[in-house]
Chains A and B, each alone.
Chain A
Amino acid sequence: MKNEMFMGAKGINFINAKKHRTSPTEAESVLWNYLAKNQLGVKFRRQHPIANFIADFYCHAARLIIEVDGSIHNNSEQILYDQERDRELLFNGIRTIRFTNNQVIKQTEKVIEKIKEHIAIANSPFRGQGGLAKRIIPCLDVKDGRTVKGINFVELRDAGDPVELAIQYSEQGADELVFLDITATHEKRKTLAELVKNIARNINIPFTIGGGINELADADLLLNAGADKVSVNSAAVRNPQLINEFADSFGSQFIVVAVDTKRLNNGHIVHLNGGRLPTELQTQNWIKEVQDRGAGEILLTSMDHDGTKNGFDCELLGEINQWLTIPLIASGGAGNMEHFAEVFNKTNVDAALAASVFHYGEILIPDLKAELKKQGIVVR
Chain B
Amino acid sequence: MTISDILNSEKVIEEIKEQQASTNSPFRDLGGIGIVNYGAGNIFSLCSALDRLSISYKIINTVSDFDTCERYIIPGVGHASPAMKQLNATGLIPLLKQTSKPVLGICLGMQLLSTFSEEGETPLLDIIPIKTLKFTDKSLKIPHMGWNSVNAVNVATLFKDIEQGSYFYFVHSFYLENSSEYSLATSDYGLTFASSIQKNNYFGVQFHPEKSGKAGEQLLLNFAKL
Contact = CB atoms under 8 A, between A and B. Distances in A.
Contacts of A285: none
B211 A204 contact: yes
B177 A221 contact: no
A380 B167 contact: yes
Interface string B193-226: 0000000000000001011111011000000000
Interface in A67-98: 69, 73-74, 76, 79, 83, 86-87, 90-91, 95-98
Q: DSSP majority for the B interface?
A: mixed
B42 A76 contact: no
B192 interface: yes
B188 A206 contact: no
A153 to B, nearest CB: 19
A216 to B, nearest CB: 7
Contacts of B136: 87, 90-91
A13 interface: no
B181 A74 contact: yes
A98 B190 CA distance: 12
B146 A205 contact: no
Contacts of B52: 201-202, 204
Interface residues on B, range: 35 or more
A363 interface: no
Contacts of A371: none
A83 B177 contact: yes
Given A79-B181, A98-B178, A205-B213, A118 B146 contact: no
B183 to A, nearest CB: 10
Contacts of A324: 141
Interface in B85-134: 129
B141 A224 contact: no
A67 B131 CA distance: 21
B2 A253 contact: no
Interface stretch (A28-36, A128-136, A180-188): A128-136
Interface residues of A, number: 59
A220 B3 CA distance: 10
B14 to A, nearest CB: 12
A220 B5 contact: yes
B49 interface: yes
Contacts of B146: 132-133, 135, 175, 327, 350-351
B77 A251 contact: yes
A251 B149 CA distance: 24
A326 B140 CA distance: 9
Contact of A97 (B4, B167, B192, B212): B192
Given A205-B211, A251-B78, A73 B190 contact: no
A1 to B, nearest CB: 22
Given A69-B180, A110-B151, A128 B139 contact: yes
A226 interface: yes
Contacts of A197: 44
Contact of A130 (B51, B188, B208): B188
B61 interface: no
B25 interface: no
Contact of A224 (B9, B139, B147): B9
B48 interface: yes
Contact of B190 (A90, A100, A225): A90
A76 B141 CA distance: 31
B56 interface: no
A252 B167 CA distance: 23
B27 to A, nearest CB: 21
A296 B191 contact: no
A380 B61 CA distance: 37
Contacts of A107: 164
Given A127-B140, A325-B141, A205 B169 contact: yes
A35 B165 CA distance: 22
A170 B213 contact: yes
Given A97-B188, A128-B190, A130-B144, A220 B213 contact: no
Given A110-B165, A204-B217, A220-B8, A73 B145 contact: no
A90 B137 contact: yes
B142 interface: yes
B188 A133 contact: no
Contact of B140 (A69, A73, A91, A130): A130
B147 A133 contact: yes
A343 B77 CA distance: 32
Contacts of B147: 132-133, 135, 175, 380
Interface centre among B2, B173, B187, B214 (most CB of A within 10 A): B2
B179 interface: yes
A59 to B, nearest CB: 16
Interface string B139-167: 11111111111010100000000001101
Q: Which 4 A-B pairs have the closest CB atoms?
A: A130-B189, A224-B8, A380-B167, A131-B188
Given A87-B191, A252-B143, 17 more contacts: A74-B181, A79-B181, A83-B179, A91-B136, A97-B192, A130-B144, A130-B189, A131-B189, A204-B210, A206-B211, A224-B8, A226-B44, A228-B45, A296-B143, A297-B145, A325-B141, A327-B145
26 contacts: A73-B180, A76-B181, A95-B191, A98-B192, A100-B153, A110-B165, A130-B144, A131-B148, A131-B188, A131-B189, A132-B147, A132-B148, A133-B148, A133-B167, A200-B44, A200-B48, A220-B2, A220-B4, A224-B12, A225-B12, A228-B211, A251-B77, A251-B79, A253-B77, A253-B145, A351-B146
